[in-house]
């Protein structure tokens, strides 16, 4: 399964680049993180970073991703939120306003019908 991760707020391109570096440093996620560039419009000059795509398989990678995303969010000084899309469901997460971001992210990554949306 591929998980799409976007950024809302702050310097979105810079924050997405920072998150990419952070996730690629995780031993269990190495090779699973790809940058997906946005489409170039008629007036566009180049493809900006749009989202990160993370290939998540079995073996606890989803939990590791959830923990890493939460840790990264807690290092941010600005009001940055991450948007996570998996299995057709999307959730916005801000570690400062969600009591248990790991649990919320893990639920959206699960394939069950009771995941957050």
Dihedral angle sign, alpha carbons of residues 109, 69, 17, 14: positive
Where residue 82 sits, what CATH number does that domain have?
Answer: 3.30.70
Show the domain range for 63.
Answer: 2-40+47-109
pLDDT of residue 94: 84
Token pair, residue 106, equals: 């893990």
Residues 32-47 pLDDT 10s: 899 887 665 565 555 5
Largest Cα separation within the chain, whole Å, is 44
In a domain, 70, yes or no: yes
In a domain, 22, yes or no: yes
What is the pTM for the complete model shown? 0.80
Is the pLDDT confidence value at 59 over 60? yes
In a domain, 116, yes or no: no
Our count of domains for the chain comes to 1
In a domain, 115, yes or no: no
């Amino acid at each position: 399964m591929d998980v799409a991760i976007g950024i809302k707020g702050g310097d979105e391109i810079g924050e997405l680049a920072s998150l990419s570096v952070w996730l690629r440093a995780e031993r269990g996620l190495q090779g699973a993180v790809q940058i997906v560039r946005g489409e170039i419009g008629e007036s566009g000059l180049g493809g900006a970073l749009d989202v990160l795509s993370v290939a998540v398989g079995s073996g606890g990678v989803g939990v590791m991703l959830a923990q890493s995303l939460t840790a990264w969010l807690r290092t941010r000084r600005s009001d940055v939120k991450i948007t996570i899309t998996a299995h057709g469901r999307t959730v916005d997460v801000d570690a400062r306003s969600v009591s248990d971001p790991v649990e919320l992210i893990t639920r959206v990554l699960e394939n069950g019908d009771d995941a957050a949306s």
